Amino acid sequence: ALSQLTKLQELYLEYNRLTSIPAELGQLVNLQKLVLSNNQITSIPAVLGQLVNMQKLMLNYNQIISIPAELGQLVNMQKLMLNNNQLTSIPPELGQLVNLREISLSDNRLTAIPPELGQLVNLQRLYVSCNQLTSISAELGQLVNLQKLYSGYNKLTSIPPELGQLSKLQEVWVGNNKLTSVPAEWKRFDIPLVVESIQDISAWMKKLSDILA
């Protein structure tokens, strides 16, 4: 039985037809990497919150509709992939994953990102594209190590000025939203800004060239 493999550190079950995650996986206390991508999983058992040594959890390309708050106990997590599911919300407890470097939540049905994610001070890559977001929490301006922010294909009308403080940003994609402007501070950074959907792009580009002149 899986539960007897207590020394197992990595488990790959991707590209199968799994509809659920066996609860006994919660007993694999030494597991550091679990790959369950490309299945037909609809839920995540709360017992996965017992896998305190988990560093990489891949659950992308499934049919998951919610995330248990217990995942917030996985404080050694560095990479969490939940893109291409059917999530409508994110539990605020994920803000406790202080060692997280990358989180992918793209291609879901999210309408908001909890402000608690601003506590992920080691986060370098945040992917929330292709959702139904109407706003971004100002608290995300606390992600001082963020290098990549992808939030294209949402319903954003503005970007909080606090995100202009993210001096380590290297890539920003906010295309295909309903933006009329971006933080002025971003125009001082040497980063590729993809902002196809800014309504008055020509005026914004002129303003940018004036600043850089």
pLDDT tens-digit map of 62-109: 999 999 999 999 999 999 999 999 999 999 999 999 999 999 999 999
Average confidence (pLDDT) over 140-156: 96
Tell me the whole-structure pTM to 2 decimals. 0.89
Q: How far is CA 23 from CA 57, 75, 194, in A?
A: 16, 20, 42
Name the residue among 106, 193, 102 with its Cα closest to residue 146.
102
Identify each DSSP E strand in the chain by its residue range. 10-12, 33-35, 56-58, 79-81, 102-104, 125-127, 148-150, 171-173, 193-194
Give me the pLDDT at residue 118, please: 98
The span from the CA of 194 to the CA of 184, in Å, is 15
Query: Which of the two residues, 206 and 45, has the higher pLDDT score?
Result: 45
Give the torsion through C-alpha atoms of 147, 152, 156, 161, to 10 deg: 20
Q: Where in the chain is the domain with CATH 3.80.10.10?
A: 1-86, 113-213
CATH class of the domain whose range is 113-213: alpha beta
* Nearby residues of 190 by Cβ (< 8 Å), 6 or more positions away: none
Residue type, 61: Y
Query: Which of the two residues, 80 and 163, has the higher pLDDT score?
Result: 80
User: Residue 57 pairs with which residues in a beta bridge?
Assistant: 34, 80
Q: Choose which CATH entry (3.40.50.300, 1.10.1270.20, 3.80.10.10, 3.40.50.2300) describes domain 1-86.
A: 3.80.10.10
Query: Which of the two residues, 143 and 182, has the higher pLDDT score?
Result: 143
- pLDDT tens for 175-207 read 899 988 888 777 766 555 555 544 444 454 555
Share of residues in the chain with pLDDT > 70 (%): 87
SS3 per residue for 71-117: HHHCCCCCEEECCCCCCCCCCHHHHHCCCCCEEECCCCCCCCCCHHH
